[in-house]
Amino acid sequence: MIKKIYEAIDNSFDEMVEIRRYLHQHPELSFKEYKTAKYIADFYEELGIPYEKNVGGNGVVATLKGAKPGKTVALRADFDALPIQDEKDVPYKSKVDGVMHACGHDGHTSTLLTLAKVMKNYQDELTGTIVFLHQHAEEYAPGGAKPMVEAGVLENVDAVFGTHLWATTPIGVLQTSKDVFMAGADRFEITIQGQGGHGAYPHETKDSIVIGSELVSSLQQIVSRRIDPLGTAVVTVGVFEAGNAFNIIADTARIVGTVRYLDTDIQEIVVQEMNKIVEGTSIAHDVKINLDYDKGYPPLVNHAAEAELVMKASEEIEEIHTREEVIPVMGGEDFAYYTLERPGAYFFTGANKEGNPYPHHHPKFDFDERALPIAAKTLISAYFSYQKK
């Protein structure tokens, strides 16, 4: 049956692309994906596959129960976009100003919807149950996975699998890990309340820009001087806001950034050191400094057996010529919440588009749409392989 399914997926390529491009032209930001969620729900309504909407927020969960008893396996795709202006010169360019699918979630959704349509035709031959998890808000913590898990989407699920179309990896390459695959991702915000004044009289002020600059420099020393060189951490400042005139010393400053880690012990060291730096700088400059630290997605940890199953199952797919176990990626992914609860694995489907070197979250991001059927075939192959466990 698997060969017939592969053929049906290939025959659905044009529709896959059509769905992907429609979604690409109509992106919606995290927690605001109302029209996208309706599009997904309407798709399942037309297919006649039972579904629930507004799951944990804007999530949509569809369930295809096979005629033969077996295990229940969830397959997940996310569907939110990013606050980025689309700068590609393509017919399917985003029609929403300042919003675009710059990470491939449109492709993830197209993959899962098309797979559901194909598998509906094989329901009478299907062993087990497929749960199609369409998750909102992957891009912005607290994310959509956690509330969907809390809403019970994994209650009757035996295993869960997901993929990310990976635009920096060549098409035909599958990548995964049998352990930590993606980093934990936290957010911090530091506000400095100094004392402003005239640029000609700095001695009468408490310069929030100078203090903030010192903080930024000190934060970089956490990784270089407080973390074991064999450990892994990233402290990145992405926002530094202060001042509004060339001759005025700013009284307030705002610093926002992210912390990435693979081990929770490392995370705790970073938090402790950050608190010390903020407290010490506050005392040294006699100003009020506030640190707001939000712990975001935990590290995504694959289960070894399920990761091996994905690689083994992909051997049946002729378009995949390379399978790699890779070192962890420092990007975050809230698929982590699923594998905390159930056996499962996440993997990258190579989707590099020739002539488009731009990475994820770039205004000119794009991917090779030939990766869509490869992703669908790998997901359903993992499903069937899990049924045999």
Residue 153 is given by DSSP the state T
Whether residue 389 is predicted with pLDDT greater than 90 in this model: the reply is no
**Tokens representing 39?**
């599009």
Q: Is 362 known to sit in a ligand binding site? A: no
**Tokens representing 64?**
């295809």
Q: What CATH class has 189-297?
A: alpha beta
2-182+299-387 maps to which CATH number?
A: 3.40.630.10
Please identify which residue in the block is written with the tokens 């399914």: 5
Give pLDDT tens digits for 100-154. 999 999 999 999 999 999 999 999 999 999 999 999 999 999 999 999 999 999 9
Q: What is the rounded average pLDDT of the residues 273-299?
A: 98
Residues catalogued as catalytic: 80, 138
The amino acid at residue 20 is R
What's residue 268's pLDDT? 98
Whether residue 350 is predicted with pLDDT greater than 90 in this model: the reply is yes
Where along the chain do its domains lie?
A: 2-182+299-387, 189-297
User: How many residues are recorded in the chain?
Assistant: 389
Q: What is the rounded average pLDDT of the residues 357-366?
A: 97
Give pLDDT tens digits for 28-63. 999 999 999 999 999 999 999 999 999 999 999 999
Please identify which residue in the block is written with the tokens 């005392």: 283
Q: Is 136 known to sit in a ligand binding site? A: no
Tell me how crowded residue 4 is: count the other CB atoms within 10 A of its CB: 12
Q: Is 105 known to sit in a ligand binding site? A: yes
Q: What is the rounded average pLDDT of the residues 172-197?
A: 98
Q: Is 203 known to sit in a ligand binding site? A: no
The amino acid at residue 148 is M
Tell me how crowded residue 15 is: count the other CB atoms within 10 A of its CB: 13
Tell me how crowded residue 142 is: count the other CB atoms within 10 A of its CB: 16
DSSP β-ladder status, 300-301 and 252-261: unpaired
| CB distance 237 to 256 below 8 Å | yes
